[in-house]
Chain A
Amino acid sequence: MKRTLFHGGQIVLGDQRNPVRADVMVEGDTIVDVGTHFTDADKAERFDCAGKILVPGLFDIHVHLREPGREDKETIETGTRAALNGGVTGVLAMPNTTPPIDTGGMVRFVLNIAREKAPIDVMTTGCISRGRLGKALAEIGDMHACGAVMITDDGDPCHDPLVLRRAMEYARNFDLIVGSHCDVRELFGDGALNEGKASYRLGLPGIPAASEEICMDRDLRLAQLTGCKVHVQHVSTARGLEIIRRFKNEGVEVTAEVTPHHLIFNEDDITHYNTHFKMNPPLRTAKDNEELLNGLRDGSLDCLATDHAPHTCFEKNRDFLNAPFGITGLETALASLYDRFIAKDLLDWGTVVRAFCDRPRKILNVKKVALAKNSRADFSIFNPDGETRCDKAFFESKSQNSPFLGKTIKGLIETVVFRGELVLNRKSKEQAQPV
């Protein structure tokens, strides 16, 4: 079996704040040894990682792959290629496709295509309700049997509290997690961004933070009532974080995720009606950025997840009110976290790997991926001195609705290894160019 020694670099471990100097020996699809004890006697191909940081394969617990129905925006194939481009080797797909993933058959459809076309691991959620209409339960048992690992009506909240209660009770028969997209439809109204200074400045209807917080409180109280496991999706407000902390302290089995964009951007960044800053939940305030970052540091926010939401140029290139909600994120997540936080000592590598690699897999009961002996060999080789130029050519996704479009961020994923194979290697492209 082929052996490769990735030598000279530093590796990130979820329980270590900073990367440690170590070489990684890969044989077949497994890491067989890690350390600094390798010598020339160890027979293996060598891959030079000097000056680079090895990051274990990330897992994004919230992505929209748009297939079936909106293959013009993204497909399972292009979305997972985009994931690889961002060092993500496992994703959990959301069910708000057209038609939605609300039956065992649809679950099988997604997983079959993924098995055939996706270069990484793909798991899928199923809807809580039939048609994602929030009225009748979907065949949760069948979806579970076909492989769904979470149920959610993401894109919308489960509006009727009784339906949500029943779904949470029923999910317990299958040990399924209920994913919670929090907003109150009536308070959300026709809002396009956070209700506050920016909505006044731009003359647009706003979405009050209270909409998300009231629903979050309700969903977690129901989780408490029913004993169900809940995963709160895309938390965007400091008060929401407080609600999560409170219920965690009371022993409720709740996990929560936050997106890089809710840490990096806020409503002041929406300067010229740029729809690449329009998403649901919306960008909130600088104070929320700060508190959410604290929540990530102290573990109250378990996961980082991008909520990768591709849309075509045509759809996004219209007035702010009518443009669809959502931005992509798979390809820029790691580099943007490095650029804005790790490089500035606002976050350490360990925290990022814990939140973006270890915790999501733990929550979904997926085997841990790490830079450790006997782990599957999934990792990316990150160059902290490189740059990610986010032009159209960089994006593997079919869509480029990213706030980073046209910008350059510090840090570059140069190589990605998946199951021991080099599946992405930007360096080789450079080496192939004539001097």
Chain B
Amino acid sequence: MNSPAKKLRNKDLLDIRSLSTDEIRLILDTAVPFKKLFTRSVKKVPPLKGKTVLLLFYEPSTRTKTSFEIAAKRLSADVANFSVSSSSVVKGESILDTVATLQSMKGDYIVVRHKGAGVAELIARHTPISVINAGDGFHAHPTQALLDAFTLREVFPDLVGKKLLLIGDILHSRVARSTMRCLHRLGMEIAIFGPATLFPPGRPEWIQCFLKFEEAMEWAPDVVYLLRLQLERQQANFFPSMREYHNVFGIDRQRFRVIDERGIYVMHPGPVNRGVELVDEVMEYDRCLINQQVENGIATRMSILHLLHPSNRKRPALAATEDGIL
């Protein structure tokens, strides 16, 4: 177990939890040469030539979907889009029927995003195709976590002991869960700050909690990771208003000055709610890593697609499971 991983064990990428720390490092290391490609005028390489990547997005998404599409095409794969709008019926039978259809089309990868936690796993169990979870409910968004880790490794070659503070709606954020777990594995210390209503119950003990911005700053984070706030949460009484959220928890000018003075890096998975999580100045800040995150998203996803290729994996694909046993 001490030798670094050279291949991934599973046919799917469903969450960070099922990756070993070595596998995480393998994915990140493999992304480096892919990123170097982007400076060339011809950004295409052939590893996935002739392969088909099926994008199955039940939730709307421009950034993640486009990122996967570009990543797949730069590897010379063909991409097919199955966009199911959020107003369509999203019951289990439809999902599995769709999967059977995709399988009949002999696709090689399914990239799936769905508002139900566990859907990616449900699909993965019913097909030998490699399934990549692009976000399932509040559960996981492993490719986001990996691109976040890649981005931070560019800033801090050694992440051990570095401190990451997440701010905002941790409870409903699959990005937060996956990113916290991934960076914890790579040795970072993790803390959260925001309305206590949005601290997830049952969280692991290695996540520290701060109720006040000043206390969070005393902890001296190296990176602040802002999460997008959704209006629906206000209707459900998680906080009284966007205005109050911004005043107490947002990175306004005053809080930004603290961050700027200390040289703390700022990240955000996007899309950004200007005036809510942050003010415009933050976007212009030289230690704002948001654009790098987007760029690295493509490189990381190329790495994942490449490593999940059957010839790059340790074992042959796991057989699909039968009948109704989930």
Contacts and interface: CB of A to CB of B under 8 A. Distances in A.
B242 interface: no
A308 to B, nearest CB: 18
B231 interface: no
Interface residues of A, number: 31
A319 B202 contact: no
What DSSP secondary structure best describes chain B's contact surface?
A: loop
A320 B118 CA distance: 7
B122 interface: yes
Nearest to B201: A195
B159 interface: no
B173 to A, nearest CB: 10
B161 interface: no
A272 B121 contact: yes
B184 to A, nearest CB: 14
A75 interface: no
B118 A206 contact: no
A322 B200 CA distance: 21
Interface in A292-346: 313-314, 316-323
B308 to A, nearest CB: 20
A202 B139 contact: yes
Interface stretch (B29-37, B90-98, B244-252, B295-303): B90-98
Contacts of A203: 117, 136-140, 174, 177
A49 interface: no
A406 B96 CA distance: 21
A318 to B, nearest CB: 2
B325 interface: yes
A146 interface: no
A274 interface: yes
Interface residues of B, number: 30
Given A196-B202, A317-B324, A405-B325, A273 B121 contact: yes
Contacts of A321: 116-118, 137
Contacts of B121: 272-273
B117 A316 contact: no
Interface string B173-186: 01001000000000
Nearest to A392: B323
B40 interface: no
B116 A206 contact: no
A204 B326 contact: no
A317 B326 contact: yes
A394 interface: no
Contacts of A196: 201-202
Contacts of A204: 117-118, 137-139
A201 interface: yes
Interface string B131-149: 0000011111000000000
Interface string A86-99: 00000000000000
Contacts of B177: 200, 203
A317 B92 contact: yes
A200 B202 CA distance: 5
B122 A197 contact: no
B117 A320 contact: yes
Which of A199, A203, A273, A318 is packed against the most chain B CB atoms within 10 Å? Answer: A203
A272 B326 contact: yes
Contacts of B116: 318-322
Nearest to A205: B138
Contacts of B17: 201
A311 B324 CA distance: 12
Interface string B93-116: 101100000000000000000101
13 contacts: A195-B202, A200-B202, A200-B203, A201-B17, A202-B117, A203-B138, A272-B118, A272-B326, A274-B326, A276-B325, A319-B117, A319-B119, A322-B92
Listed from nearest, the 10 A-B pairs whose CB atoms lie closest are A318-B92, A203-B139, A273-B118, A319-B116, A200-B202, A203-B138, A196-B202, A203-B117, A313-B324, A197-B202
Interface of B: 17, 90-93, 95-96, 114, 116-119, 121-122, 125, 136-140, 174, 177, 200-204, 324-326
Given A205-B138, A272-B121, 18 more contacts: A198-B202, A199-B201, A200-B203, A202-B139, A203-B136, A203-B137, A203-B138, A206-B201, A206-B202, A208-B201, A272-B125, A273-B121, A273-B326, A276-B326, A318-B116, A319-B114, A320-B117, A321-B117
